[in-house]
Each structure stands twice: as structure tokens, then as C-alpha cells.
Amino acid sequence: MFDRRLIEYFDWVLLGITLALGILGLGVLYSAVAAGEVTPNRVLFLKQCLWLCGGLVLMFFSFLVNYKHFDRWGTWLYSISIALLVAVLIFGKLVSGSKRWLMIGPLTMQPSEIAKIAVIIILAKYYARYSNVNGLSLRELVRPFLMMLVPFGLIVKQPDLGTAMLVLAISASMTLFVRIERKTLVLIVSLCISVIPVVWMFLKGYQKQRILTFLDPDRDPLGAGYHIIQSKIAIGSGMITGKGFLKGTQNVLSFLPEHHTDFILSVLAEEWGFVGTGMIILIYLLLIIWGLNIAHSCRDSFGIILSVGITSMLFWQVFINIAMVMGLMPVVGVPLPLISYGGSSVVTTIIGIGILININMRRFMVD
């Protein structure tokens, strides 16, 4: 029987935040793809509208299933995501030297986006059972480390360093939340520092170049440093109130690369200025605080850790993208949630927020 309390506890604020970001994102994307003379790119705007609507439909279905069922389905969801990551390496669509997309009929999907949600669920399932007040020992961290390492390695293989780093950051955030023994934490940090030279050896040439360019963008202003330099020019030229909708010169004159995906915040900053950009950041801040509040009000361990995992996913995507376009981090190809163009990213973000709403709706249920 349907419980009327589900309607009573429905999180209209979180739904409103999602719709606000989605609508604002469509406005920025329209400007990014339609401000110039080349109009065929407006198809991207129409596709984004369809993906946003599709994501909202999937969000609705996510309300109908009690989030506690994800605990039981966690292993299957994780296995399916791994199978899709393997499939994309074998059958994936090759674009600019990377295999990140899988063609399923007329649709193109990015399995690494699905893997983020799957990793969050499987880690929440594990930590809900084995976390304790004393913190996890090194032995207890072996299994979650392997759970993270498999999709991390498959995503790096594509290669998609940005999404792989997101999987790592989300996993680390969830692990720190459930606590680690102090001696184990010191050991892990020491090992991470010691393997940095080894990791550098295995990075591809363009990945090393991005890191070196981050440290000194002017070392190659017309090559690897071009993205960052043009992004900073766009952000700075917006000043306080911006140049106005469809009037960003960096965007219109095509000086700004990847203006509809990774660097869409630069388009926003140029047209809306500090005021508009600050408003978007405040909405994201509200979204993250709201997600943490849901975790705080939840009554079961799985729901708490699941909420923290999804909120950390949203936080790291926003943080990395903003830092990236401002030149505070290397360019790693992380989209801005619900703003950047990308069907898989939009759908994954909306499903994640849908799960947060699901948890909030059923927070009064103890069993």
C-alpha cells in the first residue's frame, strides 16, 4: 500500500534546485552553441533538452523504488557497470584517440558515468556493514580498494583521466567519512606520496603536458596552454555584470575551445559576469549542503553513506570544473553538472539527485 508520508516528505526544494540548474544550463548552452554564425550546433541544444527531460523521467522512477533495495542490488549494478566498461574498450566509439562512448542503437552512452553511481552504491553497501567507531583497518580496506581500483583502471585505459580521478576522489571521501584507523591513514598517505614518481612515468604524453601547462600556461601559449589562457581571458572580460546574453566575444569569435562542455563556465562568466557566476556557485553550494543535511537526517547507515557518496560526487565535479577553468587545476575533462553539454553526465547527475530525494522521502522508515 502507498504510504502518504512519501508525499509529505517529498523534497520539493531539491527538485527545484535541479530544475533551476537544468534551465540555467540550457540558457548557457544555447549561448555557447548558437552565438556564432555556425547554426548546426544548435542540434546540441535540442539534444540536451531531450536528455534533461529523459533524466527527469528516470528521476521519477527512482522515487518509486525504496533506496534500501539498492543495498541488495549493489553487486549486480556494480557488475553491470564493469561489464559496460569492458565493452566500451572492445566495441566503443573512437573519438580523438579515446574510447569513452558505447553505441546502443541510436543512443550513445558513456559507461564511466554509470560507473560513478555503481561505485558509490557498492561502497555504501560495504561500509554500512563493516564500518565501526574505531575506524577501518588496513585489512578491511582491501576489498573497497579493489572495488574502486577495477573501474578506475578501466576508465584510465579509455583514457579518461578526469572521470577516473572523480571515482578516486568519491571513494576517498566516502572512506574518510566512515573513518580509518590513524596508523592506517598515515600509512596510506605515505604510500600515495611515494608512488607519485611511478604514476608520472605511466602518464601519457598529453597528460604530462597538461600538468606542466597548469604549472606554467605561458610555456606554450598557442598549444597546450591555449585553453587555460583563453578561459582566463573570458572570465576576466566578464567583470562584474558580464557582457550580456549571446554577447561574449571569446565565445562568438570561437577563441574559447570546448566552450559547450568543459569550459562552459567561462562562457557563463563572460556573459553573466561575477554576479551571474556567483549565483550559479551559490545554487551548487545549496545543493551540496542540502545533500549533507539529508545524510544527517537519515536513520540507517546505508542511507547515510549513500547520501555522502552522491553529495561528494556533485561536490568534486563542481570543484574540479571550476578550478580547471580558472587555471587552478590541470585540464582533465570534468563537466559542470547540469550545465555542460553531455547526455550521460546529465542523466547520471539527475539520477544521483533523485536518489537523494528518495532517501529524504523515506527517512522516517527505520526497517
Asked whether the predicted pLDDT for residue 112 surpasses 80, the reply is yes
Q: Bigger pLDDT: 280 or 39?
A: 280
CA 151/CA 120 separation, integer angstroms: 12
Q: Bigger pLDDT: 150 or 39?
A: 150
Q: What is the pLDDT of residue 173?
A: 95
For the segment 284-309, the average pLDDT, to the nearest whole number, is 93
Asked whether the predicted pLDDT for residue 154 surpasses 60, the reply is yes
Q: Take residue 59 and report the three cell numbers written for it.
A: 528521476
Asked whether the predicted pLDDT for residue 283 surpasses 50, the reply is yes
| Average pLDDT score, the chain | 84
pTM over 0.75: yes
Q: Take residue 62 and report the three cell numbers written for it.
A: 527512482
Asked whether the predicted pLDDT for residue 193 surpasses 60, the reply is yes
Cβ distance 45 to 26 under 8 Å? yes
For the segment 130-153, the average pLDDT, to the nearest whole number, is 90
Percent share of the chain, pLDDT over 90: 36
Do you know the residue count of the chain? 367
| Interval 162-174: pLDDT, tens | 899 999 999 999 9
Pick the closest to residue 53 from 34, 26, 77, 29 (CA basis).
26
Q: What is the pLDDT of residue 37?
A: 47
Which residue, chain included where needed, has cell 549533507? 292
Query: What is the SS3 string spanning the chain?
Result: CCCCHHHHCCCHHHHHHHHHHHHHHHHHHHHHHHCCCCCCCHHHHHHHHHHHHHHHHHHHHHHHCCCCHHHHHHHHHHHHHHHHHHHHHHHCEEECCEEEEEEECCEEECHHHHHHHHHHHHHHHHHHHHCCCCCECCHHHHHHHHHHHHHHHHHHHCCCHHHHHHHHHHHHHHHHHHCECHHHHHHHHHHHHHCHHHHHHHCCHHHHHHHHHHHCHHHCCCCCCHHHHHHHHHHHHHCCCCCCCCCCHHHHCCCCCCCCCCCHHHHHHHHHHHHHHHHHHHHHHHHHHHHHHHHHHCCCHHHHHHHHHHHHHHHHHHHHHHHHHCCCCCCCCCCCCCCCCCHHHHHHHHHHHHHHHHHHHCCCCCC
Cβ–Cβ contacts within 10 Å for residue 196, how many?
8
Q: What is the pLDDT of residue 232?
A: 80
Q: Which residue(s) pair with 101 in the sheet? A: 93
Asked whether the predicted pLDDT for residue 198 surpasses 90, the reply is no
Q: Bigger pLDDT: 362 or 2?
A: 362
For the segment 246-263, the average pLDDT, to the nearest whole number, is 66
Q: What is the pLDDT of residue 84?
A: 92
Q: What is the pLDDT of residue 219?
A: 59
Pick the closest to residue 357 from 67, 118, 73, 114 (CA basis).
67
